[in-house]
Amino acid sequence: MNSFHEPTPGRAHWVYTHPRRDSLNRHLLRAGSAALSEQYDVTVSDLYADGFDPALGERDLGSLSAVPGNLAELTGDAYARGEVEPDVRREQERLAAAELLVLQFPLWWYGPPAMLKGWVDRVLQTGFAQGEFDEDTGLPRRYGDGRLMGRKALVIVTAGDDRRTLGPRGVSGDLESLLFPLTHGALWYVGIETLDLHVVHDADGIDDAGREQQAGLLVERVKGLADERGRPFRRLQDGDYGRETRALREDIHPGRTDLAIHYSG
């Protein structure tokens, strides 16, 4: 049986994470989702407004909550039994149907809000998004080969810092590296290709005119998404990583340890 989830052409799922209804993010959501709806059938999950609970807990194990063992394996067993909480099931169904995923959030303490991290923890469940091995290679099906292959993701992030501060030599750290755990460690892990980040810098100081300008830029970006290609992360199955060590081969970018070594292009 094919355990991969085939996306439905023309479907998109937008996951929005911000608690304020008068925020810049809310303004961008309205403009961006409206523009996206001209090309896709769009579902929107407003995690705060929906009351999504980000805390992975015993309830996510269903009838196995009292059984000792590995948490990831037990959540996979619960998924196989059909014992998935309604809020998680809803998100999994929307994600499984979508060929495009949009994740929108503000940068808080140099990472996504806990609400979105909890969405990842609970929704990308073993059995649903990952958790099997390739019979030919014996390698786990992850990093470009997960159960959600065939999808792309647009990450929209607002940041209080300017472009230089969040740049390669900035004191706050390079934004690409800060979000690597999301773009590579979560999305690429389960097979979802990430498009280039859509970043709004200096977000705390944007006035009404700036809001309209940023909304316009997002609308233009959304209109061209169909022509964009995902970022070329290396696939685990392609032989660039040692079979036993799972580390990049010594002959590829020798001596380097920066995260950019995991790009194939």
As beta bridge partners, residue 67 has: none
**pLDDT at residue 2 greater than cutoff 60:** no
Confidence band (pLDDT; 50, 70, 90) for 1? Answer: very low
Helix (H), strand (E), coil (C) string for 123-170: HCCECCCECCECCCCCCECCCCCCCCCCEEEEEEEECCCCCCCCCCCC
- Tokens 């961008």 locate to 28
**3-class state of residue 228 by DSSP:** coil
Give pLDDT tens digits for 163-190: 999 999 999 999 999 999 999 999 999 9
Share of the chain above pLDDT 70, in %: 99
Nearest to 145 by CA among 189, 99, 180: 189
Give pLDDT tens digits for 187-232: 999 999 999 999 999 999 999 999 999 999 999 999 999 889 998 9
- Tokens 């010594």 locate to 250
Burial 138-162 (b: 16+ CB within 10 A, else e): ebbbbbbbbbbbebbbbbbbbbbbe
Which domains does the chain show, CATH number per domain? 11-233 (3.40.50.360)
**pLDDT at residue 128 greater than cutoff 50:** yes
The pLDDT assigned to 3 comes to 66
Nearest to 78 by CA among 122, 141, 142, 143: 122
Number of Cβ within a 10 Å radius of residue 217: 15
Backbone angles phi, psi at 192, to 5 degrees: -90, 125
The pLDDT assigned to 97 comes to 97
Mean of pLDDT values over 33-60: 96
**3-class state of residue 199 by DSSP:** strand
**pLDDT at residue 132 greater than cutoff 90:** no
Higher-pLDDT residue of 141, 106 = 106
User: Residue 55 — left, alpha, or beta (φ > 0 → left; ψ -120 to 50 → alpha)?
Assistant: beta
Which tokens go with 90? 């809803």
Give pLDDT tens digits for 108-123: 999 999 999 999 999 9
Cβ proximity of 15 and 94 under 8 Å: no
pTM for the model: 0.94
The pLDDT assigned to 244 comes to 82
